[in-house]
Amino acid sequence: MKLPLFQIDAFTARPFAGNPAAVVPLDAPLPDDVMQAMAAEHNLSETAFVLRESADWRLRWFTPKAEVEMCGHATLATAYVLARELGQRPPFTFHTLSGPLVVEAGGPRFILDFPARLSEAATPPAGLAAALGAAPREVHRARDWICVMQSPEEVAALTPNHAALAALPGTERVIVTAAGGDGVDITSRFFAVKVGVPEDPVTGTAHVQLVPFWAARLGRKSLVCRQASARGGTLWCEWRGDRVRMAGDAVLYAKGEIHLPG
C-alpha cells in the first residue's frame, strides 16, 4: 500500500523553524496500531491522519507514543496540505476527539478555532521547580501545568531536567510562560516528555490555555504569542469566551510516499 506523505513546518513562514508535522491523507481508515507505528517511525511531535467524510474531514493525531485529543500545529499543517497541495477550498471542518474544529483562510495564514481551557491557581507537585531548574513565580492548572516565570528571558534560558519531569506524578505536560518578549505579548515553552515530546517547538494546545490566562491579566483579548523553543514560532491569537482563535503561517518542507506492507 502506498500513501502520500507531507512534512509541514507550522507556525512559521520559513523552513527549519516552527513545529514540523507529518500529514498523511487517507482514502480509507487505517488500524490504530498501524497509525501509531507510523507516528513512531516519523518521530515528529505529531503525525496527522486526515480522511474525507462527506463535506467534512476526520482528523486524528499521534505522537511517537500516543494518540492525543487535540493538536494545533498538526491541524494547521493539515489545512495547509488540503488547501495548498490537494486543491481543497477552506474553511475546513475537522471531526476530532475534541469535537468539530474549524480552520479558515485568513490571507496567507490559516485561522484555527479551538475550545478555550480556563485555569486556576494550583499547588504544584513537589520537585517541579527543581526539575524545571527555576522556581515559578506562581503555578496554575488547566489541562496542563502553567508555570509563570519572572521574565521572558528566564523562560528562554530554562534547561529542564526531562528525566526528573517524567518522574513527577501528574506532569504529563508543563507550560512555562511570562508576559512580554521581543515584539510579542507573551512568551512560552512546552514540555511533554511523558508523551514522547521532551520539548514541543510550537504548541497550539498550550495557547488555548495561555490566551485566556494572559488576556484576563493584560486586559486585552488579542495577543501575539511567541514560543521560545530552539526552532521558535509565532501565533496571532484572540480570546472569544469559550473559544480561542489562533492564526499562523505554514510552509512545505517535504513530500513523498509511504510504502506499507500488504
CA distance 50 to 149: 37
Which one, of 9, 3, 4, 6, lies nearest residue 81 by Cα?
Answer: 6
Handedness of CA 67, 68, 69, 72 (dihedral sign): negative
Which one, of 130, 127, 63, 53, lies nearest residue 96 by Cα?
Answer: 53
DSSP string for residues in 173-235: -EEEEEE--TTSSEEEEEEEGGGTEEEESS-HHHHHHHHHHHHHHHT-SEEEEEE-SSS-EEE
Neighbours of 17 (CB within 10 A): 21
φ, ψ of residue 21 to 5 degrees: the values are: -135, 145
> What distance separates the 2 farthest-apart alpha carbons in the chain?
57
φ, ψ of residue 64 to 5 degrees: the values are: -60, -15
Choosing from 46, 153, 172, 238, the catalytic residue is: 46
CA distance 59 to 50: 5
Active site annotation includes 104: no
By annotation, the residues acting in catalysis are: 46
